[in-house]
Structure formats: structure tokens, C-alpha cells
Chain A
Amino acid sequence: MRQFKIVFLFELKRFISAKSYWIITGILMLLLIVSISFPRMRGFFEELFNTSSDITDRETQTSILLVNGTEGLLSKKQRKVLQYVWGRTFPESRVELIDGSEDMCRHEVNSGNADCAFFFINTSSYTYYVKTLEMTDRRTSRADEALKKYQVMIVLQDADVKEEAIDEIVETEITHVTINLGTDQQKNFFYAYIMVMILYMVIIYYGQSIMTGVAFEKSSKAMELLVTSVDPTSMIFGKILAASASSLLQISLTACSAVLSYRLNGNLWREGSLVNTVMNMPGWIFRYMLLFFLLGFILYAFLYGAAGSTVTKMEETGQASLPITTILIAGLFVSLFSMTENSMDSLLFRACSYFPFTSPMVMFSRIAMSEVSEYQIAVSVAILIVSVILIGIISAKIYRAGVLVYGKRLTIRTMLTAVFFSK
């Protein structure tokens, strides 16, 4: 325990006295402060350049072309109704109805005269022309609604229903309230996504750092003195926990800067925005996030430490870390795929939520995005804790065997012999 403490403090100092550590922390803090202050900064710049959003809106008002390709099938009344519903559906745009062909649609959109064009050959189907289909483009679903409205209006008008009654039928605003009694997948998707991405990045960054640290000690030959001065378990636990502590410090500082910036700018973000959602993370999600983050990080850190001891040259670290990085990326993919495909309860996903190398990402995603019983969480955490301890001990043995093999890579056979037969 005493040796562990000495190694821990020495290694912690190694991490936090590095210039790069503070530069990265500073950049991360600055990035978050700036991102969260974005609405304030936008207001500031608009004021500075004396631009108002009205002008901007007018200048950017889009124009929509309704191109009638029915060759005279539309009556005057029908044309009027079509123009009317389209104008109501796209109030932010200038809507113009003209007769023409598909070539005309192409030409008008390509030349920039219109932002988009809807080409009709009858009143129940259309072709949508747009130059760049943006990710957030919802015009076709709005157009579908508009076309339905059009059909209803025509039928009602033909049935001599009064215009006020028709308006009432088609223009009634529907409101709704959702009361979610279970998990809010929409919101929690962000939490799961953020946790998975941060864990992945932190493991990659610190894992490499731990690995090169060990490999450097080995290549600088400090190792021989170390192994005769300290027992390998204290050594590797001290190293790994020091790396964990310094990563936690870095993340805490970054998070503090985010919280501070949010305190000042939180009211400027609209309800339901990503920033508001993340900053108002429920306490229970945060606690699980912290638990799985720490256990996952430490587990992988041990593996990187052991891998570092198997190389003899710094150039070999990439090759030695490949198997670990592959498992990590597999966990990342399984998590992201299941999150986006909404297959939280598939067998693969459930199995991965117990497998220690993927459970930190996968079990957390499951907790955040679906219903998981406390008993299942407890089993997953227990497996993870036992694995951390076991992997720690195994890593210490590999480390012990690896650090003194110079000139050639540690073979799998030597590694296994060290794990199973060394005292």
C-alpha cells in the first residue's frame, strides 16, 4: 500500500506536470465556454454589425415554385385552392403557381430562381425538385399534408359546405401533451451518445499515454531498477489509478468551465436545445455515467499498461495496442448502432451489456435508453468490478514478464506462462 501511494503520487505528478496536459485542458475548457456562450456571442456580433434578424429573414426568404404539369386539367377554383393551401403550409416562403414542364423545374431550381419546385401531373402525386437536399429538409412531409388538405377542401367545396366551416375543419390547430412514464429515449440518446464518445476518446488518449509511459520506461531501461524496488502490482495499480485521477481532474475542470459558462448563458438557449438537455442531466444518469466511465476507463488502462510492457521499441506501441483498440471500437459500434437503430433489447446488445469490455458503453446506453432492472445493473457492475481486479492482477504479471524482455516482442506463450505460473 505504501509503495502504491508513492508510485501513484510520482505518476500523477508525471501526468499533471506535462505542458500538453494543461494545453489540452485549456483548449477543451475554452471550446466549451465558447460553445455554450454562442447565443450571447451571436447577439453581440449582430449588435456590432447592426444587423437585425428581420432583414436577414427577408433576404433569406425562400421561394417555392408550384409547377402545374396537368396540361389544363386544373380548374381555376382548384388552382386557387392549391395556391391557398401551399401558402398556408409554407408561410415563411414565397409560393408561386405556374404552368410548365419538368425541364422548367430543373432549370428554375438550378439557376437559383427558385429554392425548390413541386411538379404536379395530377393532384395526388408530385415530384419534388431541390438543389441540395438538406438533412433537416421536411418540405415533402409538409407538402403531403398540404395536398391532403387540398383534397378535403375540394371535396367539401363540391359538397357546398360553407367556406367558414371548411376553414374550421382544415385549419383547426391540434395540440397534444406527452406524459412519459418510462424512459425518455429522445433526451437520453444524447446522454448515452455523449458518455460513449467521451469514454472512447478518453480511453484512446490516456490509454496511449499510459502505454507510451510504460514503453518509455522500458526503452529508457529505468525498468530494471524499478522491478527490483517495487512489486509489480503496486507499480501498475499506482500507474493506472494515477492516470485515472488525472483524466478525472481534466474532465472535472472542463465540466466546471461548462457549468460556469452555462450559469451565465443558460437562459439564452431555447428549451429543448442540446445544451439545455445536456446541462440538465438527471442526477441518476450522471451517477451511472460516472460509475461506468471510471470502471471502463480503469479496465482499458490496465490493458494498455500491460501492452506497453510487451513492446521493446516505441514504434511497436501501435501494433501492440491494436487488439485493445479493436475491442474498444467494437463496443463503440455496438452501442452507437443499437442506439440509432433503437434495438436496445436485442440479444447482442443485452449480451454486450454484461461483457466487461463492452459493458461500460453498452450497459450505460441501455440504462439511459430503455428499461433495465436494478438487478441486471448490479450483475453488470459486479462483473465489471471483478474483471477490473482480475485484469489488474493479470496485467501486473504480464507487465512483470514483459518489462525485462529486451530485443524481441513478448510472445503469447511467455505471457500465458507468466499469467498462470508466476508467483
Chain B
Amino acid sequence: MFLEIKNVYKSYGTKEVLKGISFETGSGTALGILGRNGAGKTTIIRILMNVFAADRGEILIDGEPVDYRTVSFGYLPEERGLYPKRTIIEQLVYFAELKGMTRKEAVKAVEYWLRRMELSDQGNRKLETLSKGNQQKIQFITALTHDPDIIVLDEPFSGLDPVNAGVLKEIVREQIEEGKIVIFSSHQMNYVEEFCDRIAIIHQGVISITGDLYTIKREYLRNKLVIRSKDIEQIRSIYKDNTEKMGSHELQFTVPANEKAQDVMVRIINEFEIDEIRVYEPSLNDIFIEYTSEQDDKEGEGAA
């Protein structure tokens, strides 16, 4: 399955929130949609989920306009909320049935997911009696029970402790391995970096960069090394024009223009006692900051 968002525009009144957004992703891939507050992430997700229509543009599955009756979506909205006064099983089965499952299938699937989330014994409790983290896990189940083809997660890890985040991470990884399309929106770069093969950074309603994360990183100049060693001071005294201290035992080394990074690495390994040496790659955080701050920042507090 191949999903394409093509040239999507959306305005709220006179404010143009999306100005021709395009990106694509396929089965077994996780795509991270990144952007600053108000960039239009939630708007594009809502358009994808058919919450409302785009003013212009297309959403295609395998080249055809998406048919929401045949392609199933799992959705974890940014605005979380279920029925606090109803029991957990009752509402999970309700949502699964609305997504087309029979009651029997729904009950079976809900029981499975409650087990997976380590919440089997909580099924008959009212939602409001659960902790915030557990409520979030219940919300997560609503996105998964009906075994959707495309899973859209808007800020899935916000508000979770590391243990609960770990449970969810494992499940997301499984879904990717099962060949689902996972679309992710988050401010937590470490999670995106951990899961997503592809990214799309939205800034002021346009895509400022999209593509394979590994390739994006490789496109950066590979002229910096990261060195970890107990001989940091010695290295600095010899190469003082090329080095910059990063921590007590770590420094960054800028490779001179007339040399190759590999040659420098070999030379340093031979000269000093080195714990670790690698070519420096920008983190997703660095890329994000670069692509969302170099342009004019006049974004408002829109409904994105």
C-alpha cells in the first residue's frame, strides 16, 4: 500500500494553514510529521482522517483517491477523550463495532489488547478511575483493535512514563513490522528518530523537507568527527584549530578541507588511545531546528 498526500491546501477563514503540502509513505514504514506549534500538523492529520476536507489537493492510496469505506484507519487524536463514566470494555467494544467489527470479534480483540497493555483486570472499571497514563493506553487501544491498514498517531507518547512509553513503543514497532503504514506526529524527536524511516517537516504551512531520514542525514557535510578518549587534552593541544570540546571526555573534530575523514580517523586511532570515533551526523533535533527556524517566523496561534 502506498499513501500519497498531494498538494493539499487548507484555510480557516482568511488564514491559510496549509499551502500545498505533499509527502508520501508506504507499507511497513513509519513517517514522522514534524513541525512547530501551529505549523499545520494536526490539520493535515485531520484532513487525512477525513475529519474535514481539504480546500484543494488529493489523498491517494496506490494512485487512487482514498476510499474511506475500504481502507481502514486507526487514529489516536491529539485531543484525547473517551467516555469517563462508561466502563473500559464497553467503550472499546463500541468503537471497534463502529469500525466494522462484529461484537464477538470486538470483544476478543479488546481482551487481547487489554492483556497486551497489562490492563486485563481493569476492563470493567469506569475510565475515569484510571490513571492518566492508563487512560492514554486505553485511547491507544481504540486505534488498534480493528487491525487498521494505516495508523495515525498524534503525539502518542506525550504524558507517558518511560515504562508505559516502552510498552507502546514495542507495539508500534510490531505494527510497522506487520506492514502497516504508521504516521506519527510528535515534538519528541527521540521517539521520531527511533521509529521513523521517513520524515516530513512542516513549517508555516509548507513542507520544508521530506524524505528518508538516513538519506537526509547523509546529505549533510560529513566533515566532522566525534572523538571520545581519555587523551582529549593531548589531542586538543596538537590539533587546537580543528577541535572543540563537547564534554569532559568528548570533542568534535573538524576535518581539514584537503583531507578525507577516513584518513584522519585512522591517524588519530594510531596516535592516541581512543574509546570511540565516528563521523558526526546531525540529530533529528538539529535538522528540525535548522528547518523550522531559518525561515521567517510569523506563525500565529492557529487551530492546527
Contact = CB atoms under 8 A, between A and B. Distances in A.
Given A6-B97, A10-B94, A225 B86 contact: no
Given A14-B86, A220-B84, A404-B51, A225 B75 contact: yes
Contact of A225 (B50, B97, B142, B303): B142
Contacts of B46: 224, 404
B94 A225 contact: no
Contact of B50 (A6, A221, A226, A228): A228
A406 interface: yes
A228 B81 contact: no
A222 B50 contact: no
Contacts of A404: 46, 51-52
A227 B51 contact: yes
B137 interface: no
Interface residues on A, range: 20 to 34
Given A222-B83, A225-B142, A3 B98 contact: yes
B287 interface: no
A3 B101 CA distance: 11
B71 to A, nearest CB: 12
Contacts of A407: 303
Given A6-B97, A404-B51, A404-B52, A220 B75 contact: no
A229 B95 contact: yes
A3 B77 CA distance: 21
B51 A228 contact: yes
Interface residues on B, range: 20 to 34
A3 B94 CA distance: 10
A228 B73 contact: yes
A10 B90 CA distance: 9
Interface in B85-99: 86, 90, 94-95, 97-99
A7 B83 CA distance: 14
A7 B97 CA distance: 10
Interface in B44-86: 46, 49-52, 73, 75, 77, 79-84, 86
B46 to A, nearest CB: 8
A230 interface: yes
B79 A224 contact: yes
Nearest to B100: A2
Interface in B255-304: 303
14 contacts: A6-B94, A6-B97, A7-B98, A13-B90, A217-B83, A220-B82, A221-B80, A221-B81, A224-B51, A225-B77, A229-B95, A229-B99, A406-B79, A406-B303
Interface of A: 3, 6-7, 10, 13-14, 217, 220-230, 404, 406-407
> Shortest 7 CB-CB distances between A and B: which pairs?
A221-B81, A221-B79, A224-B77, A220-B81, A229-B98, A222-B81, A6-B97
Interface of B: 46, 49-52, 73, 75, 77, 79-84, 86, 90, 94-95, 97-99, 142, 303
Given A10-B90, A225-B75, A228-B73, 10 more contacts: A13-B90, A220-B82, A222-B83, A223-B81, A224-B77, A225-B77, A227-B51, A228-B50, A228-B75, A406-B79
